[in-house]
Structure 1
Amino acid sequence: PEGGDKSWGEAWGLSEPGVGTPWRLERPPEEELPTVQSRRWARALRALTTVLLFSLILGSSLVLWAYIPGCRPRPCETLVCWNLLERYLASENRNVAPCTDFFSFACGNNNRTRNSFQELAEENKNRLRRILEAPSSWHLAPGKEKAFQFYNSCMDTGAIEAAGAGPLRQVIEELGGWPVSGNWTPLDFNQTLSLLMSQYGHFPFFRAYLRPLPIPPHTPVIQIDQPEFDVPLKQKQEMKIYAQIVREYLTYLNQLGTLLGGDPSQVQQHASMSISITSQLLQFLRPQEQRRAQGKLFQVVTIGQLQEMAPVIDWLSCLQAIFTPMSLNPSHFIAVHDLEYLKNMSRLIEKELSKHREFLQSHMILGLVGTLSPALDSKFQEARRSLSQKLGELTGGPPVPTQPRWMTCMEEMEAFFEPTLAALFVQEVFSPSTQSAAMELFTAIKDALIARLQSLPWMDEETQREAQDRITKLQVNMGAPEWALKPDPATQEYDDMQLGPSFLQSFLSGIRSSRARIIRSFLQPFPSHRWHVSPWRVNAYYSISDHVVVFPAGLLQPPFFHPGYPRAVNYGAAGSIMAHELLHIFYQLLLPGGCPACDSHALQEALQCLERHYAGFPLPSGISFNGSYSFLEDAADTGGLAIALQAYNKRLLRYRGETTLPNQDLSPQQLFFRSYAQVMCKDPNFQDPQDTHSPAILRTHGPVSNSPAFARHFHCPPGAPMNPSIRCQLW
């Protein structure tokens, strides 16, 4: 104590100096000597107690000092952590208070807008590029060297420019020629259509593909769907915008005709008729929402029945050409997504065949040129890029960047050589130790969800047991399909792939080879799950039909995941993504009537609370929020973050030795939330109308502000935007 004149008792306020103890008793004179002796013993005892207490404190301090390095987070000084720190510093804005605007704190660097998912996708393409540009580094199985040869051929722009439009004119001649060129030998319409679809990958009037049905037993079936149109015309579109789009598309078609050597006046007429055919086909389309409301997302019919309803197409011969070596007959069942469209399409083609057969041929040829433009010379590619740019400006879409040649070639490689690229990509970036670490994280997230299900106030006990059972029976595919993780070196993937003499011919051979490979895979015994994404993609998903959740290797990469990262990073980023996908297993419970045995009042209160919670945050000008449209994703975001945090907290209780990023004043818990926000970094001023997620700002602010732990660890004052007085408990 200061001054050194207080006893231990005085120092702790147990007595007052200079004042006798109030309960002190007067003693007779004969007891004075023993009292003095007793006091001496008391002083000795007090001194001994002081020494013992000091020794105990000193010993405890030494013990604590020995354990502090294991408890206090130490900086991660590895290269991967320094690289992660560089990413964080490049995106964050420390001038913004995290309790006020956590999205801007993490993602608000004014010098550069970073989209974490897009950047990761581009980095994965760069990894593939490095693989393809160093073929000598790999031991290739027989046949797989064709992938490298194709890439080199695609990159040989000198040879492609020298060939010009010659290879394309040869393809057109194989289809009977083009009326505008004057060299036209009309083939049977169905013969031309079969060649277009089976040999050249162009589907001008409808799409046909092989895919499992979306309902049990999920058997593979031929599906007939609407075509994909180059021009974004809509049934309900402002006339001024409609006219501008038509003008731009007409300019593009005229350019194609000129590049093919057509007479400008004839090209103009045929291009106008092609737009007229496209416009009429677009009028026949019915939006998916309308078909869903009518309970007609698809109808199962036989090929013979479809022949009667849309007779102008020779369905059996066309489908047989596309899906060789399948054996088809009129009794074969197929799934049709919009039967009314096919009926109207058949009538339109029949009318055009009787009056303007040459215009129908031009329509198919011009569409084919657009499909093949990636394999043509720079004049065709520039015409295509210019069209995309101008249509994007008219429809409010994002700008179309001029991408380097290697990226164009990579996109074609993805379609034609996926087996080879998948095996090489996994070998490069997803080692067994990385897969093991990812599975360990997923197990922790899954266990946290199972534990959390037991405390949900709106879920009854029976539903809780069923939900836990569904989680227990869930399958997980991590990294890549089995065939990529353990490729068969004896497999000859590309026997039917013929390279040259021009790159266009190699491109067309790739179209045929990849389709045949897909068909062969569907004809084999049905596996437990067919991946919907390539291993280098960044899209995780839950498959309802197979009850499997998929996390591709391309997603489990920096900055979302790395075995050498601080665990707070992996749990906050990859862990929250995993929990988000797991919650999609139960999306049906959140829909009206989806959980009859649950407390519907408590559930609706939680859902309405969450919608009000999200709607309370300000958004940039021009960005809208529709809670009824995004509520399933909002629920998965908010619950995913809470489950990942619960799993991380459990991990902290069991293990010591946490690390954090160097030169940062972030605790592990703060780093957890910081890493979650990094996942959501995206241009706040852009909104994709087709995206069912909330805007990026809400995907950050909604979940973190609903977490009391965030406010506690960032010391947010009550009433701050990230520390509201009311929070919602859905998951």
Structure 2
Amino acid sequence: MSPLKTFSRRAWARSALGTLLLTGCATTQQPAPSDDAPPPAVPASTSGTAAKAASTEAVRSLGVELKHLDRGVRPQDDFYTFVNGNWLKTTSIPADRARYGTFIELADKAELAMRAIIEESAAAKERHPGSTAQKVGDLYNSFMDTQRIESLGLKPVNDELARVKAVKGADALPELFATLLREGVPVPFGIFVGQDQKQATRYIVYATQLGLGLPDRDYYTKQEPRFVEVRAAYVAYIEKLLTLAGEKDAKKAAQDVMAFETALAAKQWDRTRNRDREKTYNLKSVAELDALTPGFSWGRFLKASGAEATPAVIARQPDYLEAMSGLLKSTPLPVIKSYLAFKVLDTRAPLLSSAFEQANFEFRGKTLQGLEENRPRWKRGVAQVNNVVGEAVGQLYVERHFSPDSKKRMQELVANLREAFRKGIDGLDWMSPATKAQAQAKLAKFGVKIGYPDKWRDYSPLDIVAGDLVGNVRRGELFEHQRAVGKLGKPIDREEWGMTPQTVNAYYSSTMNEIVFPAAILQPPFFNPEADDATNYGAIGGVIGHEFSHGFDDQGSRSDGDGNLRDWWTPEDKTGFEQRTTMLVEQYNGFSPLEAMSVNGKLTLGENIGDLSGLTVAYQAYKLSTQGQTPPVIDGFTGDQRFFLGWGQIWRGLYRDDAMRQMLLTDPHSPPQYRVNGVVRNMPEFYEAFGVKEGDQGWLPPEQRVKIW
């Protein structure tokens, strides 16, 4: 689906794109053994004549950072720590980060590249009005001009606050909600434009629950001490912003806002239920929505949103919308106005004077994520430019930092992964011929996008004004909104990208039935053109396989090759599939990275399937690429061992406890250690590569191992 940017783009990236890779989604001294020989043991060093000879003969380097290996840990017991242990011991999370790892390292690299591009435009003495350089330079400079921002105080949002204050009755809420959403301010529900999941050839409006200021509905109800502390800090934060804005009784208003959000949270669906594509597909006419939400006019709301051309509305959580309308009627209007005023202030606080900015960081950075300090101003400025005119600077990024050779080699890898998946489907012993035929038909229709769009986004309608930071951001949100609603009634744009090229991530879209790999992720350790094939297949090959697998995970398997949500499985095949996925849920439920908190196996099921099936298919693709030849030993590692090392190293990562707590409640991805250990212990190929035996900590009895695709 493509997003309708009527609220924070970052908050709804996942809804807009489908399934992501990360939220918000990478030794022996003996010759390689023969097929019937036992796998070699892992050595204590890489010295030795055979290893040196193999390294010399190899066309490419190992592609694995050996300095990060912890050779005091057996790979048979804890493969993740074996591959990443020294990195984990010697690395600290930067003070301005909630987590750190390979994705952040690459994001930092891309960020530096973007800074150079952006600051060139910002420093240019002459910029043609309306040009990319003018838009980029004036936007960045408006963020970096802290003296002007400080002098303006609350002035940039006075018109938004006045609009909220002017509301005389609940009857005016549809238009007010539409206005706020169009400019990126959240209200109790959100909308976005995407392909109709059951009629993928048309665009339609989706309506979904929204409007909470804490990361998840569970933050409002959990009674553990840390959640109680967070709620108290949130009320204090609401009070602080309202006080800065001149609210006379900010303390009471903050308590009222918290009570209103708590009531909304009680009616919202949990994240596991929200993953169900059938339950969240509820096609409604405008008249049906009006009947569902008495007192709230959807016709007026859609007209004010510019989305009246939608053929209908898909209500993702209809009972929530019904309950929300009841709360809007029963809640005193001054409370709703306080709530909306806070939403304006909370959204704009990072763009306002230091008092607002610091209050925002103290709660959203320190309290919620455990950050020690705010990110440097220039980094936040680069992020702001990326949010508003991302493809414009992305085009310059690609010209400087992405080679045609990288794209060509990626295309070869994708072709091998597709062939491996095709053969894998044919070889399934639990799937009937009829369902296999449907699966093959879907696979044949998979689209692939690598590096960057063939058609770049046109930002010419967007006005960027020197010195008008809040106005620039608002106009950026409105531009995205207009671009999205402008799709209604038009053919599907199959050239559109849901990520910028400088984004370190990848995704699968079920309605487009395509996988997408931006340029920024196609770098070491994920993809290294100079590295050994085995390592690349384990790293970027596993990522490619992960995205392929999302077309066939517990949700993607519900859509056909044309992107339509329909049941194309036989009942027996569905039962066999669910038996396997239930085993995977149980496995991941047993992982506990924090005391008294475990991975939610149901919430993370799709991503866990993607990891396991993706790496399995990547291994088969790697074997196809060897054409029956035994790869040389490089630095003491066999080809199969290098394959798994490639996967293990891309997931190294550290999390602050508060960030991990939030991840466990809200993120459909498992923590990094389980994306490695939770996967390899299900793969017989890993057992053979590293000689895993019963009694090793990484051992699972064969009957407990899960194989899906």
Q: TM-score, normalised by structure 2?
A: 0.76
Q: Report what 1:442 is aligned to.
A: 414
Shift of 1:322: 2.1
Does the aligned pair in 1 maintain the 2:590–2:598 contact within 8 Å? no
Q: Report what 2:111 is aligned to.
A: 125
Q: Report what 1:370 is aligned to.
A: 346
The separation in 2 between residues aligned to 1:557 and 1:421, in whole angstroms, is 19
- Alignment RMSD (CA, Å): 4.2
The separation in 2 between residues aligned to 1:141 and 1:120, in whole angstroms, is 33
The separation in 2 between residues aligned to 1:205 and 1:605, in whole angstroms, is 38
Shift of 1:104: 0.8
Q: Is 1:349 aligned with 2:331? A: no
Q: Is 1:525 aligned with 2:525? A: no
Of the three residues 527, 530, 542, the one matched with 2:508 is: 542
Does the aligned pair in 1 maintain the 2:170–2:329 contact within 8 Å? no
Residues 376-397 of structure 1: CA distance to partner in whole angstroms, max 9, x if unpaired?
Answer: 11210111121225652xxxx6
* Counterpart amino acid of residue 642 in structure 1: T
* Counterpart amino acid of residue 336 in structure 1: A
Q: Where do residues 77-116 of structure 1 align in structure 2 (5 Å cutoff)?
A: 88-89=66-67, 91-109=68-86, 110-112=89-91, 115-116=101-102
Residues 507-527 of structure 1: CA distance to partner in whole angstroms, max 9, x if unpaired?
Answer: 222222232233334554312
Residues 64-115 of structure 1: CA distance to partner in whole angstroms, max 9, x if unpaired?
Answer: xxxx99994438899xx69x66x552x3322222233221111122122652
Question: 1 or 2 for the larger relative contact order (CA 8 Å, sep ≥6)?
Answer: 2
Shift of 1:441: 0.8
Q: Is 1:577 aligned with 2:559? A: no
1:454–1:400 CA distance, 2 compared to 1 (3 A) = farther
Shift of 1:268: 2.5
1:185–1:321 CA distance, 2 compared to 1 (3 A) = closer
* Residues paired across the two proteins, number: 631
Q: Report what 2:650 is aligned to.
A: 679
The separation in 1 between residues aligned to 2:173 and 2:650, in whole angstroms, is 50
- Please list every run of 5 or more consecutive structure 2 residues that lacks an aligned counterpart in the other structure: 1-49, 93-99, 559-566
Shift of 1:644: 2.0
Larger deviation, residues 366-375 vs 532-541: 532-541
Of the three residues 462, 466, 473, the one matched with 1:507 is: 473
The separation in 2 between residues aligned to 1:413 and 1:366, in whole angstroms, is 25
Residues 348-371 of structure 1: CA distance to partner in whole angstroms, max 9, x if unpaired?
Answer: 43445xxx5444333322221111
Shift of 1:233: 5.3
Q: Report what 1:335 is aligned to.
A: 314
Q: Report what 1:248 is aligned to.
A: 233
Residues 137-176 of structure 1: CA distance to partner in whole angstroms, max 9, x if unpaired?
Answer: 9999953121232012212222212222233335434x27
3-state SS of paired residue (1:683): strand
* Counterpart amino acid of residue 455 in structure 1: G
The separation in 2 between residues aligned to 1:617 and 1:343, in whole angstroms, is 37
* Counterpart amino acid of residue 250 in structure 1: V
Of the three residues 246, 250, 255, the one matched with 1:267 is: 250
Q: Report what 2:21 is aligned to.
A: none
1:624–1:169 CA distance, 2 compared to 1 (3 A) = closer
1:176–1:628 CA distance, 2 compared to 1 (3 A) = closer
Of the three residues 672, 688, 695, the one matched with 2:664 is: 688
* Counterpart amino acid of residue 101 in structure 2: N
1:552–1:253 CA distance, 2 compared to 1 (3 A) = same
Shift of 1:570: 1.2
The separation in 1 between residues aligned to 2:299 and 2:155, in whole angstroms, is 33
Of the three residues 666, 675, 684, the one matched with 2:637 is: 666
Larger deviation, residues 585-594 vs 151-160: 585-594
3-state SS of paired residue (2:284): strand
* Counterpart amino acid of residue 209 in structure 1: F
Does the aligned pair in 1 maintain the 2:435–2:573 contact within 8 Å? no
Of the three residues 386, 408, 418, the one matched with 1:414 is: 386
Q: Report what 1:563 is aligned to.
A: 529
Q: Report what 1:143 is aligned to.
A: 131
1:463–1:515 CA distance, 2 compared to 1 (3 A) = closer
Shift of 1:725: 6.7
User: Greater CA radius of gyration, 1 or 2?
Assistant: 1
Of the three residues 256, 265, 287, the one matched with 1:282 is: 265
* Counterpart amino acid of residue 426 in structure 2: Q
Shift of 1:438: 0.4
Q: TM-score, normalised by structure 1?
A: 0.74
Shift of 1:209: 2.7
Does the aligned pair in 1 maintain the 2:138–2:464 contact within 8 Å? no
Q: Is 1:238 aligned with 2:223? A: yes
Larger deviation, residues 205-214 vs 190-199: 190-199
Residues 430-466 of structure 1: CA distance to partner in whole angstroms, max 9, x if unpaired?
Answer: 3322111100111112222223333333234444444
Q: Report what 1:639 is aligned to.
A: 613
Shift of 1:186: 9.3
Does the aligned pair in 1 maintain the 2:233–2:363 contact within 8 Å? yes
The separation in 2 between residues aligned to 1:303 and 1:598, in whole angstroms, is 39
Shift of 1:678: 0.8
3-state SS of paired residue (2:551): helix
The separation in 2 between residues aligned to 1:520 and 1:589, in whole angstroms, is 29
* Counterpart amino acid of residue 472 in structure 1: A
Q: Is 1:481 aligned with 2:458? A: no
Q: Where do residues 20-419 of structure 1 align in structure 2 (5 Å cutoff)?
A: 72-74=54-56, 88-89=66-67, 91-109=68-86, 110-112=89-91, 115-135=101-121, 143-145=131-133, 146-173=135-162, 175=163, 189-190=172-173, 193=176, 196-197=179-180, 200-217=183-200, 219-231=202-214, 234=218, 236-238=221-223, 244-263=229-248, 266-287=249-270, 296-323=279-306, 333-352=312-331, 356-389=332-365, 391-392=367-368, 399=371, 402-419=374-391
* Counterpart amino acid of residue 238 in structure 1: Q
1:269–1:519 CA distance, 2 compared to 1 (3 A) = same
1:320–1:667 CA distance, 2 compared to 1 (3 A) = same
* Counterpart amino acid of residue 644 in structure 2: F
1:199–1:699 CA distance, 2 compared to 1 (3 A) = closer
The separation in 1 between residues aligned to 2:475 and 2:611, in whole angstroms, is 43
1:406–1:688 CA distance, 2 compared to 1 (3 A) = farther
Of the three residues 426, 436, 452, the one matched with 2:424 is: 452
1:619–1:255 CA distance, 2 compared to 1 (3 A) = closer
